[in-house]
Amino acid sequence: MLDLAFIRNNADTVKEAARLKNNTIDIDALLELDRRVVTLQHEVEEARAQQNALSKKIQQAAKEKNVELRNQYIAEGKQLSESIKEKEPLLTQLQEERYQLLLLVPNIPDPSTPVGKDEDDNVPIKYWGEKTQFDFPALDHYDLMQRLNMVDIERAVKVAGSRSYALKGDAARLELALMNFAFDRLARKGYTPVIVPSMARDFCFVGNGQFPKGRDQVYEVEGQDLYLVGTAEVSITGMYKDEILKAEELPLTFVGYSPCFRQEAGTYGKDTRGVFRIHQFNKVEQYIICEADHEVSVRWFEELERNAEELIQALELPYRIVNVCTGDMGDGKVGMHDIECWIPSENRYRETHSCSYFHDWQARRANIRYRDAEGKVHFVHTLNNTAIASPRILIPLLETHQQADGSIRIPEALRPYMGGQEYIGR
Binding-site positions for L-serine read 231-233, 262, 285, 384, 386
Binding-site residues for ATP sit at 262-264, 351-354
Active site residue 185: no
Round to whole Å and give the CA distance between 139 and 402.
8
Rg (CA), the chain: 27
Q: Measured from the CB atom, is 73 or 357 closer to ligand SSA?
A: 357
Looking at residues 246 to 275 of the shown chain, list those that interact with ligand SSA (rule: CB under 6 A). Answer: 262, 264
Active site residue 392: yes
Query: Which one of 42-50, 105-113, 142-150, 281-289 is the stretch in contact with ligand SSA (CB under 6 A)?
Result: 281-289
Q: Is 97 in the site for ligand SSA (CB under 6 A)?
A: no
Catalytic residue among 36, 43, 351, 415: 351
Q: How many helices (H) and strands (E) does the chain have?
A: 12, 15
Q: What share of the chain is helix, strand, coil (3-state, %, to 5)?
A: 45, 20, 35
Q: Measured from the CB atom, is 14 or 387 closer to ligand SSA?
A: 387
Cα distances (angstroms) measured from residue 152 to each of 143, 149, 158:
12, 8, 10
Closest listed residue to residue 36, CA positions, set 2, 82, 84, 87: 87
Catalytic residue among 164, 198, 235, 354: 354
Closest listed residue to residue 323, CA positions, set 36, 101, 68, 112: 112
Q: How far is the CB of 365 from ligand SSA (least distance, A)?
A: 15
Please name the amino acid found at residue 4.
Answer: L
DSSP string covering 80-106: HHHHHHHHHHHHHHHHHHHHHHHTTPP
Q: Is residue 23 within 8 Å of 46, Cβ to Cβ?
A: no
Letters for 347-386 (x = contact with ligand SSA by CB under 6 A, - = none) are ----xxxx-----------------------------xxx
Q: Measured from the CB atom, is 116 or 391 closer to ligand SSA?
A: 391
Q: Measured from the CB atom, is 255 or 278 closer to ligand SSA?
A: 278
Q: How far is the CB of 408 from ligand SSA (least distance, A)?
A: 20
Q: Is 343 in the site for ligand SSA (CB under 6 A)?
A: no
Q: Is residue 257 within 8 Å of 274, Cβ to Cβ?
A: no
Q: Is 235 in the site for ligand SSA (CB under 6 A)?
A: no
Round to whole Å and give the CA distance between 388 and 396.
12
Q: How far is the CB of 257 from ligand SSA (least distance, A)?
A: 12
Q: How far is the CB of 178 from ligand SSA (least distance, A)?
A: 12
**Cα atoms in the 13 Å half-sphere on the side-chain side of 78:** 6
Q: Is 277 in the site for ligand SSA (CB under 6 A)?
A: yes
Active site residue 351: yes
**Enzyme catalytic residues:** 262, 277, 351, 354, 392
Instruction: Point out which residues bind ligand SSA (CB under 6 A).
Output: 231, 233, 262, 264, 277-278, 281, 283, 285, 351-354, 384-386, 389, 392
